[in-house]
Chains A and B, each alone.
Chain A
Amino acid sequence: MTHPDQKIQTLFFGEGSITIRSFCSPDEIALLSLKETFVESSQYNPILSKKESLIEAAVQPDANVTLAYTEDKKVIGISILRYPHPDERWLKSGDRVMMEVSVLEVAGKWRQKGISKKLLWLLLDHPLKDDRIIYMVGYSWTWDTSGTGKSVIEYRNHLINLFSHFGFGIYPTNEPNVMMRPENLFMARIGANISESIRKKFKLVRFNLDE
């Protein structure tokens, strides 16, 4: 069944058209393929290369799996918005308060075409966007610096520019994985309906402090 908030956008390139679809259902994902586009190589391992992982994400409550795919149903862009894992500190901000942009990736030959921005646009076009704190973490060890030819700091700046466009700001946190390398990144966007008490909790949670 199609999600009521699903949006579809078509982009035209010389190589053919690309469809970007938000709130993909397990049935819709089942019709697509990642086999040729998101494959592991000696240079780089994509964050996600199995369709089952997409389906698993799509059935999570309030999750948005937004995909970009070619006319022949090959997935060339993946983005996922979902609640964090129960073990993560972010749950201390409150139940279903924070949602993570857990994946944003475009396959190698489709980069530099603005697809990640289009993916994010539909990913964040979520009915709960004003009621959630949406965040992303950037770990430099997951960045395809060799494939993009960017240094880690250039890649970081690219992410900052991309997410800033959607109202995200950089927030300091002592989350150990973020603290592991200076170029790592934590950005968030606080929804308009987020109360002052939750904002305060979010501030303390970033530094792993209790009220």
Chain B
Amino acid sequence: MPSTITRYPKEVILKDHREAILRPLEAVDREKLAEFYRSLQLSLRWFLKEDPCDVNVIKKWIENQTEGKAFSLIAVYDDRIVAHGTLLQRPYGGRRHVGRLRVMVASDFRNLQLGTWMVFDLIRRGMEMGLEKIRADFVIGLEDSAIEAFKKIDFIEEAVLRDYIQDQQGKYYDYQIMIKQLHKELSDF
């Protein structure tokens, strides 16, 4: 993975004047990241592909970061992790040009632009990595506000997988796949 020219830590001020620090995930953050995910509602965690409260899962995420398979960014407020975002890149095969993005924000830090800052940094990182597309997936009916926010930053609703996701009670949800094209150059018109 190429070295990033985006300097960290980065301080952002949220709409309520609180200051959060953005920086890459490090090995020392393992327990605090597990705490962050434990603090989220189970209904939000449920749709992730792995159990984020399991420290071994987080250990693997940190290894992915060290090995250059992923770029994980955290937001820290008052020594507490309040958001976590990841851009995953496949090192091999026909999907190497596509990154997968996921951002989770603590409930008391939502609608304050923190998620936007995280997503922007991850998109920029994707550009530095030479990615051509970034994919982000959402559960329709549960993450509609995120879908709207991603539309505003040029993610396109590319496909919907019907009844693809099931909640803890067995109820089915549609799954929205969104794609953002990353352009190396600007077009003239």
Contact = CB atoms under 8 A, between A and B. Distances in A.
A170 to B, nearest CB: 6
A152 B186 contact: yes
A159 B127 CA distance: 16
Interface residues of A, number: 25
Contacts, number: 51
B12 A207 contact: yes
Q: Provide the main secondary structure of the chain A interface.
A: helix
Interface string A76-103: 0000000000000000000000000000
Of listed A43, A182, A206, A207, residue having the most chain B CB within 10 A: A182
Q: Provide the main secondary structure of the chain B interface.
A: loop
Interface stretch (B56-64, B117-125, B164-172): B117-125
A172 B117 contact: yes
Contacts of A43: 188
A145 B127 contact: no
Interface string A180-203: 001100000000000000000001
A174 to B, nearest CB: 7
Given A151-B184, A153-B127, A182-B127, 5 more contacts: A141-B186, A145-B185, A146-B185, A153-B124, A203-B11
25 contacts: A145-B186, A146-B185, A146-B188, A151-B184, A152-B183, A152-B186, A153-B124, A153-B128, A160-B5, A161-B5, A170-B6, A170-B7, A170-B10, A172-B10, A172-B11, A172-B12, A172-B117, A174-B113, A182-B123, A182-B124, A183-B124, A183-B127, A203-B13, A206-B13, A207-B13
Interface of B: 5-7, 10-15, 17, 113, 117, 120, 123-124, 127-128, 183-186, 188
